[in-house]
C-alpha cells in the first residue's frame, strides 16, 4: 500500500478525495491537513460535510493537522486541495520534504518544469518530473491536474485533435456552484440567477487546454497552435459543469466520424487498467435533451465526460457543435488527481 494524505481535507475537493479514497485498493489514507482553524480537531468535528454519503470511517477519527510537512509523517503522496495562494507556498515544501504532490490547485500548473497532466490526454508530460527534481534539488515532486472545466473540454478535444485539423474552439460554460468551494458563491447571489463571470477561469481554459495538447519537446512543452476562446458562467447547479463547444475545422468532416472518434477514445489509464480509470472516458448520449448535469455527472462514477447534441452547424461552414457534462469535483478535481497518482505509482514510483 502507498500511504497518502490530503492537504485541505475539509473543503469541497478535500471531501471528494476522502470519499474516493475510502475503499481504494492501493492508496491508504493516513493523514488529513487543513488550516490552523481545523488543526487539532477530529475530522468529523472539523468538517462541514456536504456529500450525500456518510463520512468514511477511514477519515472520521483522524486528527486534522496543520498544513506543514513537519506535521506529516510516513506519507508517500499528498493530494493538494488547497487554495492557490496557500498551495504556491506549501506544495514546494512538501516536495522538498520528499513527498509526491498531486495537486488540484492552479498555483504551479504553468511552471515550465511541472507536469500538467490528464492521464488519457498527455501522460508523456510526466517526463518533466526528472527535470523538475534536477532543477529544484527535490527528492519529491509536484504533478498538477488542470482546472475542472478544462479537463472535460480537453478530454473531448484530444481524439478530435488526433484525427482532424482544428482551427478554432469556442466554449461557453455553465459551471456548478461546488466549483467555487464551500464558501464560494453566496446563495443570495446564485439562487434564481446566473453569474456571467468566474475570475481567471477563461484564461485557465484557454491556456491550459493548449498546454495539455502541446508537444513535449526535450524539456519544453510547445502549446498546440489552434485558437481557444472561452466564456465562463456560474449557474445554480450543485455539481457538474456543462459546456457548449463550437469547433471550426479546416476541412469538411463527417459527424459519424466524430462520434466514432469519441466512442473509440481510450488512453493509457484504460490500457494499464488503473483502478479509477473509466472504461469509456467519453460517453455519447443520442437523446436531444442530454447531457444534463443531474443525470449525467455521475457517469462511470463521475470519471467520464458525457457528450451529446453532436452536430454540424447549420450556419457556419466546417463547424462542429456539441454539449458536454463533466463532474467538476470528481473528474475535474479529486478523481483527476487520484488517477494521476495511480499512473505515477505505476510508471514512476
Ligand atoms: P474550499 O472548499 O474552500 O477548501 C479549502 C481547503 O483549504 C479547506 O480544507 C481549508 O481548511 C484549507 N485551507 C484554507 N486556508 C488554509 C490555510 N491558510 N492553510 C492551510 N489550509 C487552508 O476549496 P475547494 O473548492 O475544495 O478547492 C480547493 C482547490 O482545488 C482550489 O485551489 C481550487 O481552485 C481547486 N479546484 C477546485 C475545484 C472544484 O470543483 N471545487 C475543481 C478543480 C480545482 P479549513 O476548513 O480549515 O479552512
Per-residue pLDDT tens for 214-233?
999 989 999 999 999 999 99
Residue among 171, 172, 165 at smallest CA distance from 226: 165
Identify the pLDDT of residue 173: 99
Chain segment 132-162, per-residue pLDDT in tens: 999 999 999 999 999 999 999 999 999 999 9
By most ligand atoms within 8 Å of CB, the mutation choice from 5, 6, 9, 12 for ligand 1 is 12
> How much of the chain exceeds pLDDT 90, in percent?
99
Alpha-carbon distance of 80 to 89, in angstroms, equals 12
Q: Which residues pair with 241 in a beta bridge?
A: 326
Residue found under cell 473528474: 331
Shared domain for 318 and 341, answered yes or no, is: no
> How much of the chain exceeds pLDDT 70, in percent?
100
Shared domain for 195 and 273, answered yes or no, is: yes
Domain of 23 in residue numbering reads as: 2-147+334-347
Shared domain for 253 and 155, answered yes or no, is: yes
Q: What lines the ligand 1 site, CB under 6 Å?
A: 8-14, 34-35, 37-38, 67, 81-84, 86, 104-106, 147-148, 178-179, 181-183, 328-329, 332-333
Shared domain for 303 and 222, answered yes or no, is: yes
Shared domain for 117 and 211, answered yes or no, is: no
Identify the pLDDT of residue 233: 98
- Looking at ligand 1, which residue's alpha carbon is closest to its atom 20? 35
Identify the pLDDT of residue 284: 98
Chain segment 55-107, per-residue pLDDT in tens: 999 999 999 999 999 999 999 999 999 999 999 999 999 999 999 999 999 99
CB within 8 Å of 187: residues ≥ 6 apart: none
Shared domain for 177 and 270, answered yes or no, is: yes
* Average pLDDT score over residue span 263-278: 98
What CATH number did the domain enclosing 159 receive? 3.30.360.10
Identify the pLDDT of residue 177: 97
Binned at pLDDT 50, 70 and 90, residue 330 comes out as very high
* Average pLDDT score over residue span 321-337: 98
Identify the pLDDT of residue 223: 98
- Looking at ligand 1, which residue's alpha carbon is closest to its atom 19? 35
Residue found under cell 470519499: 19
Shared domain for 320 and 340, answered yes or no, is: no
By most ligand atoms within 8 Å of CB, the mutation choice from 5, 7, 8 for ligand 1 is 8
- Looking at ligand 1, which residue's alpha carbon is closest to its atom 38? 179
Reported as type and span, the H/E element at residue 173 is strand 166-174
Count of structural domains within the chain:
2
118 touches 154 (CB < 8 A): yes
Give me ligand 1 centre to Cα 219, in Å: 31
Identify the pLDDT of residue 293: 98
CB within 8 Å of 223: residues ≥ 6 apart: 207, 210, 211, 213, 214
Shared domain for 134 and 156, answered yes or no, is: no
Shared domain for 181 and 272, answered yes or no, is: yes
Read off the C-alpha cell for 21.
Answer: 479514497
Identify the pLDDT of residue 338: 98
Residue among 137, 238, 109, 111 at smallest CA distance from 178: 238
Shared domain for 54 and 193, answered yes or no, is: no
- Looking at ligand 1, which residue's alpha carbon is closest to its atom 47? 35
Average model confidence (pLDDT) across the chain: 97
Alpha-carbon distance of 251 to 256, in angstroms, equals 15
Q: Is the pTM of this model over 0.85?
A: yes
Reported as type and span, the H/E element at residue 129 is helix 128-136
Binned at pLDDT 50, 70 and 90, residue 171 comes out as very high
DSSP string, 239-291: S-EEEEEEEEESS---HHHHHHHHHH---HHHHHT-TT--SSSEEEE-STT--
Give me ligand 1 centre to Cα 34, in Å: 9
345 touches 279 (CB < 8 A): no
Identify the pLDDT of residue 307: 99
What CATH number did the domain enclosing 43 receive? 3.40.50.720
Give me ligand 1 centre to Cα 86, in Å: 9
Shared domain for 320 and 239, answered yes or no, is: yes
Q: Which residues are catalytic?
A: 148, 241
Chain segment 27-61, per-residue pLDDT in tens: 999 999 999 999 999 999 999 999 999 999 999 99
Shared domain for 183 and 131, answered yes or no, is: no
Amino acid at each position: 500500500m502507498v500511504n497518502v494524505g490530503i492537504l485541505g481535507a475539509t473543503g469541497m475537493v478535500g471531501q471528494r478525495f476522502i470519499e474516493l479514497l475510502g475503499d481504494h485498493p492501493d492508496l491508504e489514507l493516513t493523514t488529513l491537513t487543513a488550516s490552523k482553524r481545523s488543526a487539532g480537531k477530529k475530522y468529523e468535528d472539523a468538517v462541514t460535510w456536504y456529500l450525500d454519503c456518510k463520512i468514511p470511517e477511514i477519515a472520521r477519527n483522524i486528527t486534522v493537522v496543520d498544513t506543514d510537512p513537519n506535521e506529516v509523517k510516513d506519507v508517500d503522496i499528498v493530494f493538494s486541495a488547497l487554495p492557490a495562494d496557500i498551495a504556491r507556498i506549501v506544495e514546494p515544501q512538501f516536495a522538498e520534504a520528499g513527498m509526491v504532490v498531486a495537486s488540484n490547485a492552479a498555483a504551479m500548473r504553468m511552471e515550465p518544469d511541472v507536469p500538467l497532466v490528464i492521464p488519457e490526454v498527455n501522460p508523456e508530460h510526466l517526463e518533466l518530473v526528472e527535470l523538475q527534481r534536477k532543477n529544484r534539488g527535490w527528492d519529491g515532486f509536484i504533478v498538477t491536474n488542470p482546472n475542472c472545466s478544462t479537463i472535460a473540454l480537453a478530454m473531448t478535444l484530444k481524439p478530435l485533435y488526433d484525427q482532424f485539423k482544428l482551427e478554432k474552439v469556442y466554449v461557453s460554460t455553465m459551471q456548478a456552484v461546488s466549483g467555487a468551494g464551500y464558501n464560494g458563491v453566496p446563495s443570495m447571489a446564485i439562487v434564481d440567477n446566473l453569474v456571467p463571470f468566474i475570475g481567471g477561469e477563461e484564461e485557465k481554459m484557454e491556456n491550459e487546454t493548449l498546454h495539455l495538447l502541446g508537444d513535449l519537446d526535450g524539456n519544453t512543452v510547445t502549446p498546440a497552435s489552434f485558437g481557444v476562446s472561452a466564456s465562463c458562467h456560474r449557474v445554480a447547479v450543485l455539481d457538474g459543469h456543462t459546456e457548449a463547444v463550437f469547433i471550426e475545422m479546416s476541412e469538411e468532416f463527417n459527424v459519424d466520424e466524430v462520434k466514432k472518434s469519441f466512442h473509440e477514445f481510450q488512453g493509457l489509464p484504460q490500457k494499464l487498467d488503473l483502478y479509477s480509470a473509466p472504461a469509456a472516458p467519453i460517453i455519447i448520449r443520442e437523446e436531444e435533451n442530454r447531457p444534463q448535469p443531474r443525470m449525467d455527472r455521475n457517469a462511470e462514477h463521475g470519471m467520464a465526460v458525457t457528450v451529446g447534441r453532436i452536430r454540424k452547424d447549420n450556419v457556419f461552414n466546417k463547424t462542429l457543435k456539441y454539449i458536454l457534462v463533466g463532474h467538476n469535483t470528481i473528474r475535474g478535481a479529486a478523481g483527476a488527481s487520484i488517477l494521476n497518482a495511480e499512473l505515477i505509482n505505476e510508471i514512476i514510483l
